[in-house]
Amino acid sequence: SIRDENAKNGWVARLIVCKGLAKNVKAAVKKEFKRILDMNEKSRPFAMFDRRKELWFKTIPNAVFVEHYGVENDDCVVFSWGDEEGVQWTLGQLRNLMADVAGLRKQRKLLLFPEGTDRGVRAAAQSNVYAKQNGLPRYDYVLHPRTTGFNYLLNVMRSENYISCVYDITVAYEDVIIDSEMSLLKGIFPKNIHFNVKKYDIKEIPSDPEESGIWLKELWREKEEALKKFYESEPHKRRLDPSGVGYMFPVRTEGIGYYVAFTFWILMTAALMTYIFGAKVHIRGDKIDHSKPALIIMNHRTRIDSKRLLYQEGDR
């Protein structure tokens, strides 16, 4: 780093070397990075270059930096200047953006509730009206899915080559269904929560929007039948038939990564579930591959479905 203690705000110049990432830094990427960083007032000027550029700085030969930092032909040098705090923030953001562009981060998964909302009284009534108007069956355990958002996400992820499969998750409650956080405060909580995971390779899903919409509707019809079978059984015998290999996920909570990865509200949900209410979560079906990007779709029975899923996803 280069520092000028006499300059206003303690002017400093710093650089980082991103090993092997020169090929990822094209003009369009630099422009997009600048657009993103310019949205925050902490952002400071920056430059990005590799050994193909003959002159990095007017007064310092490239060889000085190449030798000192061990810059190789396929490395990218990221440089920023200004006040200390702003430069540190800018380089931190650029480091994260570079990792994303290079695909160095863990592959992400998107969670979508195709029903659009939880199955409350009002939403269920609206779904029934929609079914009657369109000659569709009336559902008692799910809402009719909305295909527009599903098709949009599917098409975008396909166009970016950022999807390997779709995981369909069904959630069911063995004894009691709660509709709000207020029920938690009253001590009302299901003792057993069941999830079933079914994996569909992206090649199994039609690329035509109309056909993929039909595919989603058929999936929800099957989900309605599975939940009907579940809830018509005696409470202590209620189980979701496992999909695929019938893998049973572990539900224990352990490891420092768990505590670092989750925010306070998720930890509180986990504590309430396990230690205060004694709830057990049962997850069966196909195993989720965390090394590949995917879209997760799920029925939305209550407002806190996603909290339970995130809690258990962290355990895995």
> Whole-number mean pLDDT of the chain?
79
pLDDT-based confidence at residue 258 (cuts at 50, 70, 90): very low
In the CATH hierarchy, which top-level class contains the domain 11-102? alpha beta
- pLDDT single digits (tens) 17-47: 888 888 888 888 888 888 888 888 889 999 8
Q: So what's the pLDDT on residue 310?
A: 39
Domain ranges of the chain: 11-102, 109-298
- pLDDT single digits (tens) 57-72: 777 777 887 887 788 8
Q: So what's the pLDDT on residue 140?
A: 94
Whether the per-residue pLDDT at 182 is higher than 90: the answer is no
pLDDT-based confidence at residue 207 (cuts at 50, 70, 90): very high
pLDDT-based confidence at residue 49 (cuts at 50, 70, 90): confident
CA gap 12, 84 in Å, rounded? 6
The segment with the largest mean pLDDT, out of 110-124, 217-231, 295-309, is 217-231
Of the candidates 151, 112, 312, 136, the residue with the CA atom closest to the CA atom of residue 224: 136
Q: So what's the pLDDT on residue 277?
A: 57
pTM attached to this predicted model: 0.60
Whether the per-residue pLDDT at 6 is higher than 70: the answer is no
Q: So what's the pLDDT on residue 283?
A: 85
